[in-house]
Amino acid sequence: MIIAAAGIASYSNTLQVPFLFDDVGRIVDEPAIRTLWPPSVAMQNSNRPFAQYTFAMNYAVHGYNVVGYHVVNLGIHVAAALFLFGLTKRTLRRCGTDYQAVAGFLAFSVALVWVVHPLNTQAVTYVIQRLESLMGLAYLATLYFFVRSLDSKHSSFWMLCSVVACAFGMGCKEVMVTAPLIVLWYDRAFVSTSWREILAQRKGFYMLLASTWGVLLWSMMHYRLDYTSGSLFRVEGLTPWTYLLSQSTVLVHYIALSFWPNGQCVYPAWPIAKSMLEVWPQLVVIGGMLLATIWAIFKQPQWGFLGGCFFLVLAPTSSLIPIQDIAFEHRMYLPLAALVAFVLLAAYALLLQIRISKNVAIRAHLGFALVIGTALGLTSYERNKVYVSEISVWKDTLVKSPKNVKVWVGLGGLFAKEKRYEDAREHFVRALEIAPDDSKANANFAGLLIELREYDLAGKHLERAFQSNPKDLDAITNMGHLQTRLENFSEATKYYEVAVAGLSKDEELQSCLIGSYIRDGRLSEAERCSLANLQRRPKSARAQVDYASSLIAMKRSETAIEHCEKAIELDAGLSTAYATLAVIVPDPKRGMELMSRAIAIEPRSFDYNRTMGDMLMATNPMEAVQHYEISIQSDPDSIEVLLKIGSAWDACEHPENGIPYLERVTQLLPDWVEARESLKMLKQSVVKP
């Protein structure tokens, strides 16, 4: 109860933490999790299908209420701590008289310190990292159930539980691959006296346990995009050797944070080591730990098991297989348990060596664990405050990693979404000062410039992005946006098709492609693409609107109305649903009401205000002027809207008010003779006698 209470207290301020970063793409924008049955639908877009299905279960109960997701994450973490407690207690009872009588107290210390340790915050507070904590729970359960089977009258039942837990973990994350080996190692270190004895007594169990690797293979083959997209095995600028060298510094960093969790960072900018000379101190530390573990395997196998757990669990992510992000704190979720157990058990063994009584030793040990646990729990509570928003996470990271280009780009992107364009520009420029040729920095800055209608400069940065990485999907997507703004719809379509192929789950990108097909006159392809998208995402309001848009282009407005109304039922806050429906309903009054709803959601929208102005021109030109004015604030160089404002003022019988707008037209198009003549005549007509 104390372990559970300590864990809950340490994470009690995380229940309102919003969906962050990958949470959005893998949970909020993942249509598959909106279908609970059959499970194959929810699992279809993940190489961690069992963990992914838990998000579908969350969605079925809570929708997108983030509290429910955090409650489950915290429940997983507390359950893992209790399994660690049970596993440690039962193991210590096999370790001689010095540990048998105090096994429960020592196990309590280990589980308490681990459950509150701030190095676990990323795996618990960041919702999508449930993949790590759920795998950790399955890993501990696999080992615990095996240990439970050794002394039980129902050993077959507990062994079956161990196999089931292992199979479940294989469907949660690839790191689980080492679990059967760890169970076998445990058997040899704590239970059996020889390998022959293991084969004689538990051959069938280990065959079943090994068969769970088939679940992992199925999971990896089930969804291969994460591997083929270059996030694994083929990482730009990394080789297996340089990755291995770099991991020596990462592991030392992890160990340092385990003892002194100051300087935690969600996205550290980790330097890539090119030679052994660059990292020789870290190689000495890690090499020494490895040698000590190997020595212990032969001389002190039970201590050697803890060292083996640390290195073997980290091996899939911290050895020869290059992964995009060199360092991530959540990878220490399980290895931290081995490290905590080693330190606390070694501390108790040391107390026994100085010849004090066992009662004094265990009391001192418990006191130490409680003090350390309290300090770590308070640190975790404070650390969790960083996750209050994406901007908060980026700012915290920027303090600790000021030369991290990814952070500057991330903050710039967030500011751009919030329409804080000057702040966004400042951060993108800073990123480019650090790394002028970085493809992500150039591509995302280009996206901002397109929004600001600085098309020439945007094109230059996109060219630089392509020079650095021709396959950068941000650059490809933004080139599609640029070509759309320049009304080169055929070119835009080509880029969108490539982007959608690489980011098939991005609904906004699907909408861009469908819109590009429509503008390019490829109506049958627009209908085919939008219908396929709707069939994949039947409960997506955006997919309903996209299909309606293709129907409108094909003069099938009656059917389009049905889909727009369905979109509003699904998402009453989707402005495009109201705006699209507004232009096709037969009743002009209802059309204006619907467009007003769209404008209430996006009051500064260029298109919505321009369309509303068009609707009002015949009946209320003065109000039409107001909407055109809002449009022109978004795009001061829109010839179409400038002319419409002039016409609106003329309809209001105040043509003189339209003069500045016609002057702007002649400035933008100095060779347009008709515009100059119209302006001249207008000025003459308003001159007072």
**Distance between CA 582 and CA 576 in Å, rounded?**
10
Cα radius of gyration (the chain): 31
Other CB atoms within 10 Å distance of the CB of residue 484: 20
Residues 6+ apart with CB under 8 A from 55: 26, 27, 30, 33, 42, 69, 130
In this predicted structure, what is the pLDDT of residue 227? Answer: 66
Short-list 384, 433, 382, 386, CA closest to 412: 433
Residue 146 burial (C-beta neighbours within 10 Å; 0-12, 13-18, 19+): buried
Retrieve residue 573's tokens. Answer: 């806050």
Structural domains of the chain ordered from first start: 2-385 (no CATH), 499-602 (1.25.40.10), 611-689 (1.25.40.10)
What are the tens digits of pLDDT across the range 564-604?
Answer: 999 999 989 999 999 999 999 999 999 999 999 999 999 98
Residue closest to 400 by CA, chosen among 383, 377, 412, 418:
383
Cβ pair 320, 240 in contact under 8 A: yes
In this predicted model, what pLDDT tens digit does every residue of 63-111 receive, in sequence order?
999 999 999 999 999 999 999 999 999 999 998 888 888 999 999 999 9
Q: Which tens digits make up the pLDDT trace of 507-542?
A: 889 999 999 999 999 999 999 999 998 988 888 899
Any bridge partners for residue 323, and if so which?
232
Q: How confident is the model at residue 234 (pLDDT cuts 50, 70, 90)?
A: low
Q: For residue 574, what are the contacts with CB-CB under 8 A and spacing of at least 6?
A: 541, 542, 545, 567, 568, 601
Is 415 in contact with 427 (CB distance < 8 Å)? yes
Tell me the three state secondary structure of residue 310: helix
The residues, ordered by sequence, that sit 6+ positions from 202 with a Cβ below 8 Å of its Cβ are 159, 187
What is the reported pTM?
0.85
Give the integer Cα–Cα distance in Å for 309 and 342. Answer: 11
Give yes or no for residue 233 having a pLDDT over 60.
no
How confident is residue 218, by pLDDT bands cut at 50, 70 and 90? very high
pLDDT of residue 131: 96
Q: Is the pLDDT of residue 170 over 90?
A: yes
Question: What's the CA gap between 613 and 599, in Å, rounded?
Answer: 12
Question: Under 8 Å CB-to-CB from 507, ≥6 apart: which residues?
Answer: 29, 31, 533, 537, 540, 542, 543
Cα–Cα distance, 667 to 371 (Å, whole number): 74
CB 415 within 8 A of CB 424: yes
Contacts of 319 (CB under 8 A, 6+ apart): 244, 247
The Cβ of residue 222 has, within 10 Å, a number of other Cβ atoms equal to 16
Residue 150, amino acid: L
Task: Write the CB contacts of 569 (distance below 8 Å, at least 6 apart in sequence).
Answer: none
Q: What is the pLDDT of residue 689?
A: 47
Going by C-alpha positions, the residue among 178, 55, 69 that lies closest to residue 124 is 69
Rounded Cα gap, residues 42 and 40, in angstroms: 6
Query: Is 145 in contact with 122 (CB distance < 8 Å)?
Result: no
Three-class HEC string of 217-270? HHHHHHCCHHHHHHHECCCCCCCHHHHHHHHHHHHHHHHHHHHCCCCCCCCCCC
Residue 580 near residue 545, CB atoms below 8 Å: yes
Q: What is the DSSP letter of 271?
A: P
Q: What is the DSSP string of 172-206?
A: T-GGGGGHHHHHHHHIIIII-SSHHHHHHHHHHHH
Specify the residue for token string 């039942």.
157
Q: What is the pLDDT of residue 635?
A: 84
pLDDT at 230: 47
Contact, 509 vs 477, CB < 8 A? yes
Rounded Cα–Cα distance for residues 118 and 380 (Å): 4
Please, which pLDDT band fits residue 228 given cuts at 50, 70 and 90? Answer: low
pLDDT value at residue 688: 53
Q: Which pLDDT score, from 0 to 100, does residue 585 have?
A: 94
Residue of 226, 205, 111, 118 lying closest to 163 (CA atoms): 205
Whether residue 645 contacts residue 625, with contact meaning beta carbons closer than 8 Å, is answered with yes
Compute the distance between CA of residue 29 and CA of residue 23 in angstroms, rounded to an integer. Answer: 9
Residues in CB range of 395: below 8 A, 6 or more apart: 411
Please give the share of the chain, as a percent, with pLDDT higher than 70: 98
Give the separation between CA 282 and CA 252, rounded to whole angstroms: 6
Query: Given the structure tokens 């600085």, which residue do they identify?
Result: 454
Structure token pair of residue 50:
């069992």
| Distant-in-sequence, close-in-space partners of 501: CB < 8 Å, separation ≥ 6 | none
Q: Provide the pLDDT confidence category of residue 687 given band limits of 50, 70 and 90.
A: low
Through-space distance between the first and last CA atoms of the chain, rounded to whole angstroms: 93
Residue 447: pLDDT over 80: yes
Q: In the 8-state DSSP scheme, what is residue 449? A: H
CB 12 within 8 A of CB 381: yes
Q: How many residues does the chain have?
A: 689
> What percentage of residues in the chain have a pLDDT greater than 90?
76
Lowest mean pLDDT among 128-132, 503-507, 650-654: 503-507
- Residue 237, pLDDT > 80, answer no
8 Å CB contact between 477 and 502: no
Mean pLDDT of all residues in the chain?
92
Q: What distance in Å separates the CA atoms of residue 323 and residue 535, rounded to the nearest whole number?
A: 34
**CA distances (Å), origin 210, targets 134, 139, 405:** 20, 14, 43
Residue 463 has pLDDT above 90, yes or no: yes
Q: What is the four-CA torsion angle of 142, 143, 144, 145, rounded to 10 degrees?
A: 50
d(CA 363, CA 38): 53
In DSSP notation, 480-517 reads HHHHHHTT-HHHHHHHHHHHHHH-TT-HHHHHHHHHHH
What stretch of H or E contains 8? helix 2-10
β-partners of residue 231 are none
Q: Which stretch, 422-436, 500-514, 523-537, 666-680, has highest mean pLDDT?
A: 422-436
Quote the DSSP letter at residue 330: G
Contact 613, 627 (CB under 8 A): yes
pLDDT range class, residue 229, cuts 50, 70, 90: low
Round to whole Å and give the CA distance between 476 and 465: 9
The confidence band for 679, taking pLDDT boundaries of 50, 70 and 90, is confident
Counting beta carbons within 10 angstroms of the beta carbon of residue 357, is it exposed (0 to 12), middle (13 to 18) or buried (19 or more)? exposed
pLDDT of residue 239: 86
